[in-house]
Amino acid sequence: MKPFSHLLLALLLPIGALAAAPEKKLPLPGELFLVADQPAFLISAPAAPAGKPKPWVWYAPTLPPYPSDAEKWMFEKWIAAGIAIAGIDAGESYGSPAGRKLFTRLYLELVQSRGYSSRPVLLGRSRGGLQLLNWAADNPDKVAAFAGIYPVCNLASYPSLAKAAPAYGLTVEQLTATLTQHNPIDRLAPLAAARVPLFVLHGDADKIVPLALNSQIVRDRYLALGGDVTLIIPSGQGHNMWPGFFESTELVEFVLAHARR
Residues of the chain with pLDDT > 70, as a percent, come to: 92
Supply the CATH number for residue 178's domain: 3.40.50.1820
pLDDT value of position 52: 86
Q: pLDDT at residue 252 above 60?
A: yes
Residue 7 maps to a domain: no
pLDDT value of position 46: 86
Residue 14 maps to a domain: no
Rounded CA separation 156/152 (Å): 10
What would the pLDDT profile of 28-58 be if each residue is shown by its tens digit? 999 999 999 999 999 999 877 777 899 999 9
CB 217 within 8 A of CB 250: no
Question: Rounded to 5 degrees, what are φ and ψ at 80?
Answer: -60, -25
Domain count along the chain:
1
Residue 16 maps to a domain: no
Q: pLDDT at residue 10 above 80?
A: no
Residue 124 maps to a domain: yes
User: Read out DSSP for 150-209?
Assistant: S----TTTTT-HHHHHHHHT--HHHHHHTGGGT-GGG--HHHHHTT--EEEE--TT-SSS
Q: Edge to edge, what strands does the sheet with 145-149 contain?
A: 31-35, 38-43, 84-88, 56-60, 121-125, 145-149, 198-201, 229-232
The pTM of the full predicted model, rounded to 2 decimals, is: 0.91
Q: Count CB neighbours of 68 within 10 A.
A: 13
Residue 123 maps to a domain: yes
69-97 mean pLDDT: 97
- State the DSSP code for 113: I
User: Cα dist. 43→6, 27, 31, 104 in Å?
Assistant: 31, 9, 6, 19
pLDDT value of position 205: 98
Residue 10 maps to a domain: no
Q: pLDDT at residue 139 above 60?
A: yes
Type of residue found at 140: P
H/E segment holding residue 219: helix 215-224
Residue 250 domain boundaries: 21-259
User: Read out DSSP for 44-87?
Assistant: --SPPPTTSPBPEEEEE--STT-S-GGGHHHHHHHHHTT-EEEE
Residue 2 maps to a domain: no
Q: Count CB neighbours of 52 within 10 A.
A: 11
Grade residue 19 by pLDDT with cuts at 50, 70 and 90: low
Residues of the chain with pLDDT > 90, as a percent, come to: 88
pLDDT value of position 20: 63
Q: How far apart are the first and last CA of the chain?
A: 50
Grade residue 89 by pLDDT with cuts at 50, 70 and 90: very high
Grade residue 21 by pLDDT with cuts at 50, 70 and 90: low
pLDDT value of position 18: 42
Q: pLDDT at residue 95 above 60?
A: yes
**Bridge partners (DSSP) listed for residue 219:** none
Mean pLDDT rounded to a whole number for the chain: 92
What would the pLDDT profile of 150-192 be if each residue is shown by its tens digit? 999 999 999 999 999 999 999 999 999 999 999 999 999 999 9
Residue 104 maps to a domain: yes
- State the DSSP code for 27: S
